[in-house]
Amino acid sequence: MNFNIKKVFSIVMMIVYIFSFVACSPLQTEEYNDSDITQINESEESLKDLENHLNKASGTSNLSNAEIDEKGYYTSKAEVALFIHTYNKLPRNYITKKDAGSMGWEASEGNLWEVTDKMSIGGDRFGNREGKLPKKSGREYFECDINYEGGFRGPERLVYSNDGLIYYTKDHYDSFELLYKEE
């Protein structure tokens, strides 16, 4: 899938590159009105939106530790993983299942955003019962939802350890991708 995203992005960028030569001919003396300029601005915004969408879909980001605010709200794979790596805790928009339940959350109703201030589930212990993640004496794993946008919880999670490991699972624990390893 990552290959397809890169391929689409490359094709879009080639088209933009080709059109930049055609549209910038020195012999061109046409006048542009406000609607033409608006159309150009909308096209540029569409390209930025496409790039952001492709980055989000591939989980890539140009974030650095300095760009992750400790008081910020984050839900994407890249942002939450960097936040955990930087601050050794979840962003403030995460709440445990127990705390959400005490506020009236019912998983079977998909009502988390209705009973909280648009929070996501996270911070609960992950048992690693299937043994798919590395075991080490004293290591504990925790989990949090990723890309949650209200309603019922999706399959995406980060699973992170108390000693610096951070994994991403897009398929509710069937497979794991290592994002950060212990230092």
Encode pLDDT of 68-108 as tens digits: 999 999 999 999 999 999 999 999 999 999 999 999 999 99
Q: Which residues, in sequence order, are bridge partners of residue 169?
A: 157
Same domain, 121 and 159: yes
pLDDT for position 53? 45
Same domain, 83 and 125: yes
* Domain edge (last residue) among 58, 84, 99: 58
pLDDT of residue 49 exceeding 90: no
Q: Could you list the active site residues? A: 143, 172
Same domain, 149 and 85: yes
Percentage of the chain with pLDDT > 90?
A: 62
The alpha carbon of 53 is separated from its chain's Cα centroid by a whole number of angstroms, namely 10
pLDDT for position 67? 84
Q: What is the mean pLDDT of the chain?
A: 82
The SS3 assignment for 176 reads coil
Q: Quickly count: other Cβ atoms within 10 Å of residue 145's Cβ.
A: 19
pLDDT for position 59? 47
Same domain, 116 and 165: yes
- CATH number of the domain residue 132 falls in: 3.10.450.30
Encode pLDDT of 108-131 as tens digits: 999 999 999 999 999 999 999 999
Same domain, 44 and 92: no
Same domain, 77 and 110: yes
Contacts of 119 (CB under 8 A, 6+ apart): 93, 94, 95, 100, 112, 113
* Domain edge (last residue) among 38, 58, 78: 58
Same domain, 24 and 41: yes
Confidence of residue 182 (pLDDT cuts 50, 70, 90): confident
pLDDT of residue 58 exceeding 50: no
Q: Name the domain count of the chain.
A: 2
* Domain edge (last residue) among 40, 58, 76: 58
Same domain, 88 and 173: yes
Same domain, 101 and 174: yes
The parent domain of residue 15 ranges over 2-58
pLDDT for position 43? 54
